[in-house]
Amino acid sequence: MQKRLAYSLPDEVLEHVFSFIQSDKDRNAVSAVCKSWYEIERWCRRKIFVGNCYAVSPGMVIRRFPEVRSVELKGKPHFADFNLVPDGWGGYVLPWIAEMAGAYPWLEAIRLKRMVVTDESLELIAKSFKNFKVLVLSSCEGFSTDGLAAIAASCKNLRELDLRESDVDDLSGHWLSNFPETYTSMVSLNISCLGSDEVSISALERLVSRCPNLRSLRLNRAVPLDKIANILRLAPQLIEFGTGAYSAELRSDVFSNLAGAFSNCKELKSLSGFWDVVPDYLPAIYSVCSRLTSLNLSYATIQSPDLLKLVSHCPSLQRLLVLDYIEDSGLEALASNCKDLQELRVFPSDPFGVEPNASLTEQGLVAVSLGCPKLQSVLYFCRRMSNAALVTIAKNRPNLTRFRLCIIEPRTADYLTLEPFDIGFGAIVEHCKDLRRLSLSGLLTDLVFEYIGTYAKKLEMLSVAFAGDSDLGLHYVLSGCKSLRKLEIRDCPFGDKALLANASKLETMRSLWMSSCSVSYGACKLLGQKMPKLNAEVIDERGPPGSRPESCPVEKLYIYRSVAGPRFDMPPFVWTMNEDSTLRLS
């Protein structure tokens, strides 16, 4: 009788048990146990995440999961952030919205990353989902404030509107006024990416004053400093706040008003914004600094002493984003003051300059790796590095999970030994056994890839540029990195051999991007034809790849696994290598 217990549990009980299982991986595992669990699970899955919007069609998702409340989609490949993906490539959300409008009337949340969102899509969202609560548009584009106006007017239960780093067409600042006077449910509002004419301050103030649950507010650059105090006084319950331009003529009345307003915010834990900083106004935030866990100064063009002073006031800091003006001295102060630091991102203030304009070297990163025992995530731009430093960092911080190093000049060697950084990055992957994300830079041979293939068993995402000597490098990675999901490569001498030899590996990954490498059109065709579960797409703005010899390398190649087959919305410069469509090429 006990053996049959599992079969006799009523569906409702199983469903209740499954409701405690939130992670996608676990849900997928549950659904694979047996047919009845698959059925029960699919009816009670409420959240879906589609890491590549072309991997599956909206119809397939809707057919399998009929009761979804929250959808997350990602579109363009990561290198689109750096202008490597031409405009018009794809990633349109409208087909998804159109199908979900009919199928998911109770949809509450849509989260999109690197997708093309139009005003039409936004209007459709506003019209179709009566209980819509969350809209997050991360690095999206294609829409204007008109679309936002539609959302504001119709979504009575909206809690979260987050436009982080999206490219919005500014047409009018009055869209905010579209939130009716009866609307009071805003919890999180991020409009930091909007331009100058896109927000009416008075509408903003009225909105803030009538939303008692507002916890996160990130303003755009156009909101002047002297308006901030008033806004903060209307929302002292804020946990996260992003300023606008942090500059004004220094006036003691403005300063004390601002300082008072900040000190009133007893729960403030995260600050950002800080465009155009006037250092004299920084002390206005000192009262909240001791509680700050997250500080984003990546727009603050202030110098090292001011940064150092500021950072020294923030002992609870867990996350810091800053420009290289912080310099080694500032990072040393960070290392001694901020023992809870988990994430550090240092951006270049002058990325295209030939010589350093700030005294930031590998020393700063070494200091932080030594002084901050909880450091897990690093993004560091610098102009010089040494293997010795990398080895030290690796040994100091074996708990690193994300390590992205950008030595600004391609193919720069170790400045002490003039050698490649194979040993240094080798130490990183060897010691940091839980490393999930790695970005390489500097002079690198095939050897570094051998280390990565050997040691980086948990690595999920690898970014490579101007590195390696031969196909062997690519082969090491594809054959060795068991957990690899995303691989993006540019300007490396990798060709057909490694790719074709590891074709089946590609089905276990989300996607592979290769640009300015040596993969031939012939190899792409072969992959497309032999691997039906992969979409092999060639991006080539020179014209049809078929008009050149088969051995000619393609400009860019994007290969991703998909159960939806080749896509139908390709622009003229994208060619699919899949069998049915090869007819189009001639």
Partner 1 sequence: MSSENGKLLPETDAGGLNFEATELTLGLPGESRVTSDGVAKLGSKRGFSETVDLSLGDNKNTNKFGQSQIDVPEAAKSPVSKAQVVGWPPVRGYAKRRTKSCKYVKVAVDGAPYLRKVDLEMYNTYQQLLTSLEDMFSCFTIRNYLSDKKLDQVNGIEYVPTYEDKDGDWMLVGDVPWQMFVESCKRLRLMKSSEAVGLAPRTPPKCSSAS
- Footprint on this chain of partner 1 (rule: CB under 8 A): 79, 81-84, 165, 224-227, 245, 247-250, 254, 276-279, 299, 303-305, 325, 327, 347-359, 381, 406, 408, 410, 439, 463, 465, 490-491
Q: Based on CB atoms, which residue is closest to partner 1, 41 or 327?
A: 327
Q: Based on CB atoms, which residue is closest to partner 1, 360 or 389?
A: 360
Q: Based on CB atoms, which residue is closest to partner 1, 140 or 372?
A: 140
CA distance 484 to 480: 9
Q: Which residues contact 253 (CB under 8 A, 6 or more apart)?
A: none
Q: Based on CB atoms, which residue is closest to partner 1, 28 or 202?
A: 202
Q: Based on CB atoms, which residue is closest to partner 1, 1 or 354?
A: 354
Crossing angle of helices 119-128/94-103, nearest 10°?
10
- For 15, 214, 392, the CA distances from 160, given in Å and listed in that order, are 28, 9, 43
**Cβ atoms within 10 Å, residue 396:** 19
Q: Do residues 487 and 477 make contact, with C-beta atoms less than 8 angstroms apart? A: yes
C-alpha atoms less than 13 angstroms from C-alpha of 279 in its C-beta half-sphere: 10
Minimum distance from residue 163 beta carbon to partner 1 (Å): 14
Minimum distance from residue 300 beta carbon to partner 1 (Å): 11
Minimum distance from residue 320 beta carbon to partner 1 (Å): 17
Write the DSSP assignment of 173-187 as a string of letters. GGGGGGS-TT-----
Minimum distance from residue 78 beta carbon to partner 1 (Å): 9
Minimum distance from residue 413 beta carbon to partner 1 (Å): 17
Q: Based on CB atoms, which residue is closest to partner 1, 381 or 455?
A: 381
**Beta-bridge partners for 382:** 407
**Cβ atoms within 10 Å, residue 582:** 15
CA distance 201 to 66: 42
Minimum distance from residue 271 beta carbon to partner 1 (Å): 18
CA distance 163 to 447: 42
Minimum distance from residue 112 beta carbon to partner 1 (Å): 17
Q: Based on CB atoms, which residue is closest to partner 1, 179 or 274?
A: 274
Beta strand ranges found along 466-516 (DSSP E): 486-490, 511-515
Minimum distance from residue 229 beta carbon to partner 1 (Å): 12
C-alpha atoms less than 13 angstroms from C-alpha of 84 in its C-beta half-sphere: 20
Minimum distance from residue 329 beta carbon to partner 1 (Å): 8
Q: Based on CB atoms, which residue is closest to partner 1, 19 or 357?
A: 357
- For the record, the structure tokens of 269 come out as 């834990």
Minimum distance from residue 7 beta carbon to partner 1 (Å): 53
Chain centroid offset of residue 540 CA? 26
Q: Based on CB atoms, which residue is closest to partner 1, 327 or 471?
A: 327
Q: Do residues 470 and 493 make contact, with C-beta atoms less than 8 angstroms apart? A: yes
DSSP label at 441?
-
DSSP label at 39?
H
Q: What is the dihedral of CA 12, 16, 22, 26, to 10 degrees?
A: -60
Q: Based on CB atoms, which residue is closest to partner 1, 347 or 476?
A: 347
Buried/exposed 537-563: b ≥16 CB within 10 Å, e otherwise: bbbbeeeebeeeeeeebbbbbbbbbbe
Minimum distance from residue 346 beta carbon to partner 1 (Å): 12
Q: Based on CB atoms, which residue is closest to partner 1, 351 or 549?
A: 351
Minimum distance from residue 153 beta carbon to partner 1 (Å): 27
> Nearest 5°: phi and psi at 315?
-70, -15
Minimum distance from residue 75 beta carbon to partner 1 (Å): 16
Q: Based on CB atoms, which residue is closest to partner 1, 12 or 355?
A: 355
534-539 vs 556-561, strand pairing mode: antiparallel
Q: Which of 137, 200, 153 is nearest to 172 (CA)?
A: 200
Q: Based on CB atoms, which residue is closest to partner 1, 324 or 471?
A: 324
Q: In which element (H, E) is residue 561 found?
A: strand 556-561
Q: Reduce the secondary structure of 566-579 to three states and give it as a string.
A: CCCCCCCCEEECCH
CA distance 378 to 435: 11
